Amino acid sequence: MAITETPALTVQRAVGAHRRRFTPGRVAAWVVLILFVVVTLFPFYWMVRTAFSTTRSLSSHTSSLLPADFTLGAIKRVLGLQAATESIAQGGSGASMNFWLLLRNSLIVSTGVTVCQVVCCSLAAYAFARLRWRGRNAVFFAFITALMIPPIFTMLPNFVLMKDLGLLNTFLGIMLPSMFMTPFSVFFLRQFFLGISREVEEAAIIDGAGHWRRFSRVVLPMSTAPIVTLALLTFISAWNDYMWPLLIARDKSVQTLTVGLGIFQSQTPQTGPDWAGLMAGALIAAVPIIALYLLLGKRIINSIGFSGIK
């Protein structure tokens, strides 16, 4: 870069002028970007629109952008609040559905996984980032190598393990494999813990703090932002998980939302499926995540720049 002082000024001016100008190119670029935003949002809108429609009216209002015969019926139906006769009249199957139970199960599983995983992984990340011990790098490398293993490879033996432990159809069976650690979580937190300045910890050492107090009183409080981000990411991925809970939770009482939705879809009649009901179910599964995202999403968005690659 051989830019001397005078050209640097010209550069600034040139770039400034370039930025302000409303070239056709920039307008076209904005149009394309906004198009992508619309393409991203439209399916969500269509889900909401359908969830508030009457299934029977959908076929006659195919292109209307507003709900076809606006009703809360589909939402009530999947929450088990609609009488069978009314449900059939609106195009539902009349089968009783209980998304409250699924919602509760998803909440139990996701919260359990998140709390345990974040605690275990922050402990481990502390040992990898702030303690000096023989074999540290080797163990860390082994942890990270697990990222390369396709999940299905360990999923089969893990299923046998759960079966042998008698944990099929239990919350614990769904949660256990991801409760202790995922390589990503350890890696993610270690990155942050490495960045904490040595001086702060040394001040604590001078005050006579042992490892536990240095961890709980110094490192943890300084890392609330990354820990909240990680908790959020963990919660979302546990909430969205499908294959593992599908294997473990054959019984209704422990099924999660994703599994329940899959079953709802497979049981809906081929002729005249209950689209409004399905979209209402999908909406219920998506809303908690969207709410969390609206509340704390900024952290997730910014973390993608930081962690580089998940």
Helix H or strand E encompassing 185: helix 183-195
Exactly one of 10, 96, 216, 267 binds another protein (CB under 8 A); that residue is: 10
Footprint of another protein on residues 167-196 (CB under 8 A)?
176-181, 186
Q: Is position 66 an interface residue for another protein (rule: CB under 8 A)?
A: no
Q: Is position 161 an interface residue for another protein (rule: CB under 8 A)?
A: yes
Helix H or strand E encompassing 105: helix 99-130
Span interacting with another protein, options 56-64, 82-90, 97-105, 222-230, rule CB under 8 A: 56-64
Exactly one of 18, 70, 194, 251 binds another protein (CB under 8 A); that residue is: 18
Site string for another protein, 255-274 (x = CB under 8 A): --xx--xx--xx--------
**Cα dist from 245 to 151, 172, 175, 236, whole Å:** 13, 11, 9, 14
Q: Is position 100 an interface residue for another protein (rule: CB under 8 A)?
A: no
Of 69, 98, 66, 68, the residue nearest 81 (C-alpha): 98
At 76, list the tokens. Answer: 């009530």
CB 91 within 8 A of CB 276: yes
CB 92 within 8 A of CB 75: no
Size of the site for another protein (CB under 8 A): 106
Q: Which is nearer to another protein, 253 or 267 (CB)?
A: 267
The minimum distance between CB 107 and another protein, in angstroms, equals 14
CB 245 within 8 A of CB 258: yes
Phi then psi for 3, rounded to 5 degrees?
-95, 115
Distance, CA of 12 to CA of 288 (rounded, Å) = 46
Q: Which is nearer to another protein, 23 or 85 (CB)?
A: 23
Q: Which is nearer to another protein, 197 or 266 (CB)?
A: 266
Distance, CA of 176 to CA of 178 (rounded, Å) = 6
Of 81, 79, 83, the residue nearest 100 (C-alpha): 79
DSSP state of 69: T
The minimum distance between CB 268 and another protein, in angstroms, equals 10
Exactly one of 52, 53, 54, 58 binds another protein (CB under 8 A); that residue is: 58
Site string for another protein, 111-150 (x = CB under 8 A): --------xxx-xx-xxx--xxxx-x--x--xx--x-xxx
Exactly one of 66, 211, 217, 295 binds another protein (CB under 8 A); that residue is: 211
